[in-house]
Amino acid sequence: MPIDVLMPALSPTMESGTLAKWLKKEGDRIKAGDVIAEIETDKATMEVEAVDEGVLAKILIGDGTENVAVNTRIAIIAGEGEDAAAASSGAPAQAAAPAPAAVPVPAASVPAAPRSAAPSYDASGEIPAGTEMVKTTVREALRDAMAEEMRRDDSVFVMGEEVAEYQGAYKVTQGLLQEFGARRVIDTPITEHGFAGVGVGAALAGLRPVVEFMTFNFAMQAIDHIINSAAKTLYMSGGQLGCPIVFRGPNGAAARVAAQHSQDYAAWYSQIPGLKVIQPWSASDAKGLLKAAIRDPNPIVFLENEILYGQSFEVPKLDDFVLPIGKAKVVRTGRHVTLVSFGIGMTYAMKAADALAGEGIEAEVIDLRTIRPMDVATVVRSIQKTNRCVAIEEGWPQSGVTAEIGMRIMEEAFDYLDAPVARVTGKDVPMPYAANLEKLALPNVGEVVAAAKAVLYR
Amino acid sequence: MAPKAAQSASTAKVAGAAPAAKAMAAKAAANGSASSHGPKPFTREQDLLAYREMLMIRRFEEKAGQLYGMGLIGGFCHLYIGQEAVVVGMQMATQPGDQVITGYRDHGHMLACGMDAKGVMAELTGRRGGYSKGKGGSMHMFSIEKQFFGGHGIVGAQVSLGTGLAFANRYRDNGAVSLVYFGDGAANQGQVYESFNMAELWSLPAVYIIENNRYAMGTAVTRASAQTDFSKRGVSFNIPGEQVDGMDVQAVHEAGSRAIAFARAGKGPYILEMQTYRYRGHSMSDPAKYRTKDEVERMKNEHDPIEQVRGRLLGTHRVPEDEIKKIDAEVRVIVNESAEFATVDPEPDASELWTDIVR
C-alpha cells in the first residue's frame, strides 16, 4: 500500500516550515534511514529521514515551498512491487494516522485534588493509660527507633558520614555498629550527592536505607536525588517503583555556627509532592515517628535538631511504639489562642504558653510533628474554639511553613477567625555568627507572647 | 587481545600502574575489529539474535522519530540510532536478575531488556497503556519485571542510583550485577566519581558503561573532557577499564562478558568505554551542525553495527537473504503494531493526575 510522507514537526513548538530541498527525486529507491529532504524549522535546517522502504512515487510539495503545515502530505512512497504511477495518481494514500488535535481541557474539568477527609486528630490515645514512662533524650529515642527497626527488618540499614566507627557525629547512631555490624551500619566517604544517590538506588531495589546527613545543610549537595530521584519516581513510573528511604539528620540552627550551618529546610522539602516531611520536637514523637518513617513505603525527610538531641522527655516503655505520620498533636489545651509550631519552634510556643498563663491567657499549643502531609484539620478544630492563631517556626518567613499554615487557615477556617493569623519566624537574614546578632535572628518567647496578645487585641 | 586486556586490567586493579599497556590493548580492541586480533566471532545463532535485537531498536527509533514528526510524541525525544550494538551486546552478556539503568536516551535499553514495544511507544505518546501510564514519558520508564530501573532525565543521576542497585546486590549477596549506562557528557558529572569511589571501596558489582558517542549534546568530547580516554576515568579509584569498539556487537559482548564476570566474582566495579556514534541529533530538534555530514556518512557506511552483522549473516553464516528479510518483516510488524497501539490507546484518565504521588 502506498505510504504518505508527512511534513514532520521537528521541535515541540514547530507548526509549519519550509520544504527547503528534496534530496531524492521521483522514481528513486528509498530505504529506511535515508535522508530524503531538508526542511527549515523554526530553529534550524533539519533532515527528513524515510521510515519506510519503497520508491519515491510522487513529490507533492516542491523545493522551496514555505509555510508547509506540519502533517501536510509532502510525498508518496510506493511499497515494493507496487506501481509507482498508480500510487501517485490515486486518492490520498494510506496516511499514517494523523496526530489527533489536542483537545483543550476546560479549567473546570481539572479533577479536584482529593481532599483529606481525615477528621481532626486526637493524640491522647497514642500512649495507653498506665504505660510506664521513661526519661529519654531525643538522641537516645532516635537511636532506639533505628535499632528496633533494624532488629525487626534486615532490609533496614544506616549509612552516612561517621555513623559507624565514630558512633555518629552527634552520637545518634551510638552502639549500632556494635549490634548490627559493618554490613548494616556503613560509614560513607564525605560525598553527600553520591551516597544519597546510592541510598535511593538501594531503595529502588527494595532495601530500606536510613541515610544520615551530618547536617541537612550538607544535604543541599544531595537535594537532586532527594527530589528528582526519590520523590518523583513513583509518579514517573505510574506507581510501579517506590522508594522507601529515610533521609535524616540535624536541621536548622544549632549554636554559633553561622549562616552555612544554620538553616531550616522544612519549607523547602515540604513543597515537594512525593515526599513526607517530619520534624519532631519531643523524644517520644521522635521515636514513634522515626519508626513509622522507616516502615513507610515513601521517601521521607526526617528533620532533627542538634539542640534538642540532649533534651529529655517522657517516652513510653512499649515494645513497638509507632506513631501515625501526618497527624498533629495538641500538646497543651487552652481556649483563648492557638499556637501552632513544630520541631524546636515548640520550645518557644510552650514557654510562651507558660508566660501567657501567668497573665490569664490560656493558649492551646499544637505540635504539627509532620509538615507534609500537614494536619490542618486539627489546627482548624482548635481555631474553631479559640478563633485566634499564632504560627511559629525558626525558618525564614517568605514561603515558609508558617506562611503555608496561615494560607490553609484562610482557606479552611476564615469564618472562625476573630483576628488575622500572626506568625513568628526566624528573621529574614543569613544567620549571623556574633552571639548578640544570632540571638536577634532567632525567634524568642517574647515575640510569641507579643503576637498572641496582638491577635487577642490585648 | 582478550587475555592481554584482561591481564592489564587486573594489573591496573592491583597497582593502578598499567594504564599505558592497558590503553594500548584497549586501542587494539577499539581499532582492531577488522584485524586478526578481533573479538571471538559470533555463532550463527548469536548473530541472528544480535541482528534482530539491533534492528528492532533501529526500526523502533525510526518510527518514534516519525511519530514525533507527526506531533504524536511531545517534548524531548532522544534516539539511539547508531548505538544499538552497545546495549544489545551487553544484554547478551547478562544473566537473569542483572539490573540495567541508564539516562535519557533509553528506548533502546528498554527494548533490549525485553520490555514490550507497545508499552514503550505508548509511553512516548503519553497514553494509558504506556509503561508509566503516560505519566513518565520518553525519559522516565521502568520495569521491575525486566529489572530495568529507568530512564533518568538528570544527567549523571543514574550513576549514583545504579551504584545503589549494585549496593543492594552486595547487601543481599544475590550474585546480580548492575549495568550502569551513561554518556561521555555525563562522565564529567561529579557524582560519577563519588560513585566510582564508593563502588570500588565496597567492591560493588557494577559495570559502568560509558557510551562515548563523541558529542555531549553539541559539544565534542575534545571540547569538554580533559581526559578523553574514558576507560581511564576510574584510574584514581583503581577501577579497571577498557575501550571497546561499540559499533561491533561482538566486541561489546566479549568485553561485556569479561566485565560482568569480574563484577560478579566480587572483584568490584569495571569500566567499559564504548566508542560509538549517534546518527541522529541529540534530540529531535537538533540539526547537528557541530559535525560534518561526511563524518556521519562515514560512520553509517563503514561502521554500521547492523550492517556488520547482516554482512556476516549473508557471508560467513550463509543465511539466505529471504530469511533475513523475514526477520526484517517481523520486526516491522512489531514496530508498526506498537505505533498503532500508541496512536489509538487513550490518554490516561484525568483522575490519574492525582494518583501515584505517595503509596
Residue-wise pLDDT for A160-195, tens only, equals: 999 999 999 999 999 999 999 999 999 999 999 999
CATH code of A3-89, in short, is 2.40.50.100
Q: What percent of chain A has pLDDT over 70?
A: 93
Q: How confident is the model at residue B315 (pLDDT cuts 50, 70, 90)?
A: very high
Euclidean distance between CA atoms A352 and A334, whole angstroms: 13
How far A50 CA sits from the closest chain B CA (Å)? 8
Q: How many domains does chain B have?
A: 1
Residues 6+ apart with CB under 8 A from A48: A5, A8, A35, A36, A37, A38, A39, B69
More confident residue, A122 or B10: A122
Residue of chain B whose alpha carbon sits nearest to that of A276: B358
Residue in A205, A295, A227 with CA at minimum distance from that of residue B142: A205
| Segment A90-109 mean pLDDT | 51
Nearest CB to B358 within list A45, A195, A298? A298
CATH code where residue B237 lies: 3.40.50.970
Q: Is the pLDDT of residue B213 over 90?
A: yes
- Is it the case that residue A436 has pLDDT exceeding 90? yes
Which residue in the block uniquely carries the three cell numbers 506513631? A323
Closest CA to A306 of A343, A267, A269: A343
DSSP state for residue B33 in the 8-state scheme: G
Q: Is A177 helix (H, G, I), strand (E, B) or coil?
A: helix
Would an 8 Å CB–CB cutoff place B353 in contact with chain A?
A: yes
Separation in Å, CA B210 to CA B86, B134, B284: 10, 29, 22
- Give the three cell numbers for residue B304: 554500521
Nearest-Cα residue of chain B relative to residue A53: B332
Mean pLDDT check: name the lowest of A36-50, B1-15, B112-126, B260-274: B1-15
Lowest mean pLDDT among A205-219, B31-45, B253-267: B31-45
Task: Give the helix/strand (H/E) hosting A316.
Answer: strand A312-316
- Position A315 confidence tier, pLDDT thresholds 50, 70, 90: very high
The H or E element that residue A6 is part of is strand A3-6
> Mean pLDDT, to the nearest integer, of A321-343?
98
Q: Is A261 a catalytic residue?
A: yes
pLDDT at A59: 94
Average pLDDT, stretch A70-97?
68
Mean pLDDT of B295-317: 96
What is the model's pLDDT at position A364? 98
How far A427 CA lies from chain B's nearest CA (Å)? 33
For chain A, domain boundaries: 3-89, 126-316, 329-455
Answer whether residue A135 shows pLDDT above 50: yes
Among A83-97, A318-332, B78-92, B319-333, whose mean pLDDT is lowest? A83-97
What is the rounded average pLDDT for all residues in chain B?
91
Statement: residue A82 has pLDDT above 80: no
Domain A126-316 top-level CATH class: alpha beta
- The reply to whether residue A235 touches residue B70, judged by beta carbons under 8 angstroms, is no
Residue of B nearest to A244 (CA): B359
Q: What is the pLDDT, as a whole number, of residue B27?
A: 42
Interface test with B, best of A35, A105, A198, A298 (most B CBs within 10 A): A198
B150 contact A CB<8A: yes
How confident is residue A9, by pLDDT bands cut at 50, 70 and 90?
Answer: confident
* Average pLDDT of the residues in A317-332: 98
Among A86-95, A442-451, B199-208, B289-298, the minimum mean pLDDT is found in A86-95
Its domain, for residue B149, covers 41-282+289-342
CB contact under 8 A, A10 and B285: yes
In the predicted structure, residue A423 carries a pLDDT above the cut 90: yes
Sequence letter at residue A297:
P
Residue B11 inside a domain? The answer is no
Q: Does B76 fall in a domain?
A: yes
Tell me: pLDDT of B195 over 60. yes
Tell me, what's the pLDDT at B326?
97
Contact call for residues B22 and B229 (beta carbons, < 8 A): no
Measured between alpha carbons, how far is B164 from A269 in angstroms, rounded to an integer? 22
Report the alpha-carbon distance of residue B125 to residue B51 in Å, rounded.
27
Task: Please give the average per-residue pLDDT across B248-263, as a whole number.
Answer: 98
Single out the residue of B239, B167, B164 nearest to residue B197, CA to CA. B239
Reported for B320-329, long-range contacts at CB under 8 A and 24+ positions apart, including other chains, are: B324/B51, B327/B48, B327/B51, B327/B52, B327/B55, B328/B55
| A10 pLDDT higher than 90 | no
Q: A-chain residues within 8 Å CB-CB of B161?
A: 197-198, 200-201, 204, 225, 229
Give 3-state DSSP helix, strand, coil % of chain A, rounded to 5: 30, 25, 45
Alpha carbons A297 and B271: distance in angstroms, whole number: 33
pLDDT of B31 higher than 80: no
Say which CATH topology domain A329-455 has: Rossmann fold (3.40.50)
Question: Of the residues A26, A82, A162, A261, which is catalytic?
Answer: A261
Cross-chain Cβ contact A189/B164 below 8 Å? no
Query: What pLDDT is stored for residue B24 in this prediction?
Result: 41
- Extract long-range pairs of B91-96: CB within 8 Å, 24+ residues apart: B91/B53, B92/B46, B92/B49, B92/B50, B92/B53, B92/B249, B92/B253, B92/B256, B93/B253, B93/B256, B93/B257, B93/B260, B94/B177, B94/B179, B94/B256, B94/B260, B95/B176, B95/B177, B95/B260, B95/B264
The helix (run of H) or strand (run of E) holding residue B201 is: helix B190-201
Beta-bridged to residue B242, according to DSSP, are B272
> Does the bond joining A12 to the residue before it have cis omega, within 30 degrees of 0?
no
* Helices and strands, number each (H, E), in chain B: 13, 7
User: How far apart (Å, rounded) are the C-alpha atoms in residues A137 and A336?
Assistant: 32
Cβ pairs bridging A and B (under 8 Å): 215
Q: Would B303 be classed as within a structural domain?
A: yes
Same fold, A3-89 and A126-316: no
| C-alpha dihedral, B29 to B32 to B38 to B43, nearest 10° | 100
- For residue A88, pLDDT beyond 60: no
**DSSP class of residue A220?**
G
Q: Which residue has the higher pLDDT, B32 or A304?
A: A304
Neighbours of B238 (CB within 10 A): 16
Taking residues A208-233, what's their average pLDDT? 98
User: What value does the mean pLDDT of chain A take?
Assistant: 92
Catalytic residue among A148, A192, A306, A447: A192
Residue type, A51: V
The reply to whether B17 falls in a domain is: no
- Per the domain annotation, does B359 fall within a domain? no
With beta carbons under 8 A apart, name residues in chain A contacting B66: 8, 51, 96
**A53 a catalytic residue:** no
Helix (H, G, I), strand (E, B) or coil at B6: helix
Query: Inter-chain contact A237–B132, Cβ cutoff 8 Å?
Result: yes
